[in-house]
Amino acid sequence: ITANLSRADGAAVWRYMPLGVNPDVRDWLREAIRGGRADDAKLRLQGNLRDFPFADGKQGTFKVTAKVAGASLRYAPDWPVIENIAGDLLFEGKRMLIKARQGSIYGVSLSGVSAEIPDLEAHEEILTVAGGALGPTADFLRFVATSPVSEKIDHFTEGMQAEGQGKLALKLTLPLRRLEQSKIDGDYQFLRNALVVDPDLPQLTEVAGRLNFNADSITIKEIRGQLLGAPLTVKAATRKDGTVAIDAQGSLNVAGMRNYRDHRVFNHLSGTTPWRGTVLLKGRNAEVVLDSNLLGIASSLPPPFNKSATDVMPFRFERANLESGPGRDQVRISLGKVFGAQLLRRADGGKRIIERGTIGLGEPPPALPEKGIQVGVSVGEFDVDFWRSLVAGNGSDGLPLGGISLRAEKMQVFDRPFNAVTLRASKRGGSWQGQVASREVAGEFNWDGGEKGRLHARLKHLMLAETRPGKTVLAEEPLRELPGMDIMADSFTLHGMKLGKLELSATNADNGWNLDKLAISSPDGTLNSSGLWHDGGTRLDFKLDVADIGKMLER
């Protein structure tokens, strides 16, 4: 028997199959080929039908051919559909083969696509789909995310973002009766891509190399790229327990970090340092560890962060998901014995919000608080002016600090030295309460952070030495940045002169810094004054009541 059909509905191809064809295959054809048209369909059937489908070709002939165009191929449930297929359909003996000259998935052109069932009479029909594609890596990631591949590779690509092109070679082995046992063999080649693989890491550029994957594992022999303009290499493999282990190494230079995030801190750093990192993926959890000895980095930051390029200062960054809920993780950062931090975060609209944590500078981090960040500082020298300038100069919103404990042998504040300082403070609502003790100042204080801020202090003694010579941090700051003040000190010493009791009240206004009250009193006399400090100069009104002019002048 021979038959020719010049034109037919592509979705009706299954209807033209002889009833002797395996019913499962007829059902698959009915579901798989959608739309389009079938041209130049031909049937040749010769031989005793008891021997159908003439597997060895000796007892007879069974052959069906057709040219399919504009059709869609839904080869398996849950897999992305291949659209706009143009190719040939062949049934010969017990074999079925669809060879597509063209097709697309998500608009990406495919090449060399074939769908084959080598044995239509097998008890378990096996469909093999193979093909390749050249197109945007972003579309490859979309293909993975919307297909069973994502689960098979343990959501390895989830959250990745890509720019650039790549090549995909894919082979699927699909048991039509047991699709849950499907097998995947794939190879993806990155062609100088830009990738964002993790929200905590900068974009990778010039990414080139191959990613191999199957139903059980992922393998990266070597992918090369750049991180902030410096080279890196990446390797990956799946362990026996199913964990995907990614190993990366490279170098990091300060110039690249400065281009990535413009911050004043980089003005005090220079050089290049090697680093190594590991990412462990299992389920939807990712554990990240980055290490560097910072060899090659020079720092002119104040102690204890200053170092030469030949000094080793071990740095480690660790991140792990928390079991307390989705989108929550824990970050640990250490810098030798100088600095340590533990931060608990939650995901919120693509950002990471720090809920609570602990930071230690010069000492181990304190115990983890219920909320906010607890800071412990124990150092020989601490330059508050420098760090205020560094943070303020970048418009930082700051961390959700909840408390601080500080000990410093020497501390610089508002250009004045303080020695043997001990300070404890905690945040309540929008204000800070604390106690301070040092050679120069001792007492209690309250800092209200509203508007420009206001400092309330009740002090046992206050001793102000001369400011440092030369350019000062205060000189760089406009008067409008100065806070309001309400200060009382039982004993006030200025530049070595014991002046007596101090009362100071000031507010920051649009026209300058208003000195509402300045009163200095002693048994020898009382000074009361008020005035205005603004960019154009200083105006001061004062009244002096003297009990002993000689002793007053001595003061």
Question: By 3-state DSSP, what share of the chain in percent is helix, strand and coil, each rounded to 5?
Answer: 15, 60, 30
Chain centroid offset of residue 198 CA: 5
CA dihedral 429, 430, 435, 438 (to 10 degrees): 160
The CA-based angle 519-520-521, given to 5 degrees, is 115
Q: Which of 158, 150, 172 is nearest to 73 (CA)?
A: 172
pLDDT at 476: 44
Residues 541 and 530: their CA atoms lie apart, in Å, by: 5
Q: Is 158 helix (H, G, I), strand (E, B) or coil?
A: coil
pTM value?
0.78
Per the CB < 8 A criterion, the answer to whether 244 and 216 are in contact is no
In the prediction, which pLDDT does 475 show?
46
What length is written for the chain? 555
Which pLDDT value is given to residue 470?
56
Identify the residue whose tokens are 């120069």: 440
Give the per-residue pLDDT at 175: 86
Between CA 481 and CA 477 the distance in angstroms is: 7
Q: Which residues contact 123 (CB under 8 A, 6 or more apart)?
A: none
Q: Dig out the tokens for 58 from the structure.
A: 């000796």
162 token code pair: 């890509």
The alpha carbon of 157 is separated from its chain's Cα centroid by a whole number of angstroms, namely: 14
Tens-digit pLDDT profile for the chain (555 aa)?
A: 787 767 666 666 677 666 666 777 778 888 888 888 878 878 788 888 777 777 776 788 878 888 888 888 888 887 888 888 888 988 888 888 989 888 888 878 888 889 898 887 777 788 898 989 888 999 888 888 888 777 767 677 777 899 999 999 989 898 878 877 888 898 999 999 999 987 778 899 999 999 998 877 889 999 999 999 999 999 999 888 888 899 999 999 999 999 988 888 999 999 999 999 999 987 667 889 999 999 999 999 998 999 999 999 999 999 998 877 777 899 999 999 999 999 999 888 778 889 999 999 999 999 999 889 999 999 999 998 888 888 765 544 567 889 999 999 999 988 889 999 999 999 988 889 999 999 999 999 999 877 678 899 999 999 998 776 654 444 445 566 678 899 999 999 988 888 999 999 999 877 778 889 999 998 888 889 998 887 767 788 888 887 777 666 666
Residue 269 parent element (H or E): strand 269-282
d(CA 230, CA 193): 15
| Whole-angstrom Cα Rg for the chain | 37
What is residue 19's predicted lDDT score, i.e. its pLDDT? 67
Q: What is the pLDDT of residue 41?
A: 79
pLDDT recorded at residue 398? 63
Q: Is 327 helix (H, G, I), strand (E, B) or coil?
A: coil
Residue with tokens 């079925």: 96
* Residue with token string 């060899």: 295
